[in-house]
Structures are given as structure tokens and as C-alpha cells.
Amino acid sequence: MSKLAFIIPYDMDLAENQLNHYKEILKNFQGQYKFIFVEQKSNRPVNKGKLFNIGYLLNKNYFDYFCFQDSYLIALNDDINFENTRVPTCLLSSIKKLKFGEQEEIDGFTDFEKVEDNFFDGAIISSKESFEKINGFSNDYWGSSYVGKDFLCRLVNSGFDLHEKITKSKYKNCAVFDGMNSRIDINCETNSLKRLTDGNFSISCWFSVENFPQFRPQSNKHFSEYFLFGREGYHTGISVTHDGKLKVGMWDYKSNYYYVTCKIDINIFYHVVMTFNNQTDELKLFLNGNYIGKSVLQGQQKRLTNNNLHIGMASFERNRPMHPFQGFISECGAWDYTLNDAEILKIYQKGIYNDYYNTSETPVGYWSFETGYDNIIFDSSKDNHGISQGLQYAKKEIKKPSTEYLPYRRNGYFGFIGSNFQYKLFTKSDEIELETNMACKNLFTSRMYDMEKHLKEDGLGNTRFRIVKRENFKQDHELIQVIV
């Protein structure tokens, strides 16, 4: 008969409830199991990776495999598979914030939030052999966040295979711009859009350029660049240059121009995001979910309050088009805050809206080209509708089929019984700017470049601790207090 140990960081307010709950969940489990709670006796932020390693090291001779689970989680579906596995597997597929006791009233799981495909945390099943091969968890993440991401990287670098997923082509409705007079004019009806570029802001769109603009003499300079999306006046926004570069640019109050560029090709769809943070004065460019570069303003940004926005052209003054775009544009969005890296990656992968908005705050403008009337392009988030001139529309393939390699996952529905802040830190750690969380993020980012080295140097072999107390907990289980 197989023996399973649950290793859980100890929380005195949750442990007893967890045990009582799991008696029912595991009533049909064909094996022996034991809950081992490991309590960190120090004033430092919790280091759950190290607690998992300690629980494993002290019990590896008595169990066949282990479930490393967060203290704030309880499994809710009694058909969840707790059996052993060849490849370390995440049990958590969907989650919901609730108070302990509310799980008794749950009737179905339709309102649970599905975790991201690459999410690997919360409840992980691993055999002894696999855990030893991976060298356990990292001991260096104080504050809990990112230890799951690190463990997934350790798994991959240890030679374990991942689940192969074939993604289908993705199509979007696109506006077709002729490079002459076609455009979309957006009159700013709401205060949030009027003041969009006066503080923190972000704008994004999908685009494909048919040909790069030709270089023109100074007398015809307005045709030497394509303008995709942004604000008129000083033309703050996204453009394509005659030398084949994507550019995001803006101005400071002294009319100094700042920009970031990168090379692109014709007839390929790209997703571009421009962000500005007026606390750090950083202008950033992201392409297809990846950070490209930044420029730092040396003075306050130029205020362009009330200037209209345009798609496909910088402006149309005195019947003269300025920087008209030739190609396809789709799904434009604007936010009055600085999108973070995780949000940018998410809207590249899933779009701005997919049953719900994929950013932490609703955009102040969202033009999907899916809805409209006559020459009106509806703003699906507010009331800043666009007026089109000379446009045609086409459904285009913006993403081709591809293969993704993802961690193995079982169909586990879990309730999160911690605080609202803990829930956000668990599900959206990339969005939390807490000092300990940022330290974990920076550590994880730095290790990505040499994970094989850290895999050998950091893990089970260098887990240092001292046992303060080890005793039975509720008769059949165990509580271990350690100094780390």
C-alpha cells in the first residue's frame, strides 16, 4: 500500500480546519496518508520552499511520495487524483477565494477561476525519486512568491518532459488602412481619456505593415513614417519608421523627444504595447509580450490634455493627412496606469477581453473592431467611440498554430481560505510591488540565465535548519517547529 505525506507550512489558524476537511476528501483514498505541518520559528518572511525541503528530508524514509501544499488551500472535489506520478504534477486547475465553512454551500464549480496554463504552485505531487533528481525546492525565496515558478524551471532543467499542447490559429477583425486618407478619429468624451497621456498610461494594438514608408524629402516629411495609434499634437504614440523599425515616442515639457525602437518585418502581425511611468519617467516598448527597451525622460512629460486620439494616422489637418498608415490594425486599448509585465504578456496571449478584462483595471478605451454601426467604431469599455474614414475590414490570422509545452496538471478545484491580499499574492504575484515580492521576482529573473548552476548549488543538499520541537498533531499527524 502506497504512503503519501502532505507537507504544509504550519498556520495555527488553518491547520485544524484543513485536517477536518481532508478527512472527507480523502475517505476513498486507496493508501495511507499523513499531514506534516512545518512551522518556521523566525521573524523573517516565510520560506515555504525551505519548509517543504525540511518536511521531505525528515520523512523521506517513511513515505513513497509527497504532496507539497500551501497552507491557504483546501481541495474541494472529492474525485481529485492524489495518486503517485512519474513527473511532478500540479493538482490545482481552478480556484476560488472563500472563508472556511463556505465550501459546504458550493454547488458546482462554474464560478471558479481557471489558473494559467503555466501555473505550477499551490499543490504539487512528486515521487521521492523525482524530487531528489530535481534537488527539491530552492531555499532562497523569502516571501513565498516565485518559488513555484523556480521549481518548474528546475523540473525542466532536470530533464523531465512537459505536456505538449497544440494551439490553434487566432483570428481577429482588422481595419484595413490604405496609406492615404483612411483613419479612425477618437473624440475623447471621458475625463480619463482626455487626460490619458498626462500621467501614467499604456496603449496597445495588433498590427501588420504591408510596406515600409519611403523616405521623403523634408517638404513631404509627413509620409516618411506610419502612425499606428496615439495622440495628436506632438504625436505621442506608436509608429513605424521608413527604415523598418517599430517606434514608441513621447515628449517632455521642454519639447525634447524620447523614443524606443526595434526592427520588424512586413506582412507579419505583431502585438505592441507602449507604457509610461511618471514616477520613474520611464517610457517602455514591449513586442509580443516581451520587454524590448526603455528611454528615461529628463523632465516632466508634455501635457496634451483634450487632444484627440487617432488610429492609422497622426492627425488630419487642413485636409492634409499626417503619417497615414498602410496595413492592418486590430484590437486597440488604452489604460490610465502603467501595465505590468504579467498583464502585457496576458493581453498578448489572450487578448484585452476574453469573457472578462485581462488587466487588473478596466481600460479607459477599447476598440476591438468587433462592434460598430455605419462608420462608428464602438468603444467597448467606455463611450469614446471612433469615427472611421475610408476604411475596409477583414478577418486576419494574427497568430499561427504553435506548440506549447506546459506542466502536467490534474483537475483539482481548490478553495483559498487566506486573506484577500494573500489571494492576490498567490494568483497574481507579478502584479504585487511589495518589497519581499519584488526581491523574489528579481532573484527568479536573475537565475533564469544560469538555472543549471543554481539547480546544483541550491536545494536539498544545502537545506540548513535546527529542530525546535517535533510532536504528534491531532494524534495521527505531525507538527515540526524549526529555525531556518
pTM, whole model, 2 decimals?
Answer: 0.72
Reported as a single tens digit per residue, the pLDDT across 230-261 is 998 788 999 999 999 999 999 999 999 999 99
The pLDDT value recorded for residue 221 is 55
CATH number corresponding to 3-166+406-483 = 3.90.550.10
CATH class of the domain comprising 170-400? mainly beta
Return the half-sphere exposure (C-beta side, CA atoms, 13 A cut-off) of residue 453.
5
The pLDDT value recorded for residue 263 is 96
The pLDDT value recorded for residue 167 is 81
Q: Which residues of the chain have pLDDT under 50?
A: none
DSSP per position, 89-143 = EEEEEEEEE--TTGGGG---STTPEEPPTT---SEEEEEHHHHHHHT-S-S--TT
Residues of the chain with CATH 3.90.550.10: 3-166+406-483
Tell me the helices (H) and strands (E) count for the chain, helix number first.
9, 31
Residues of the chain with CATH 2.60.120.200: 170-400
CA 332, chain centre distance (Å): 19
Nearest to 287 by CA among 265, 309, 314, 320: 265
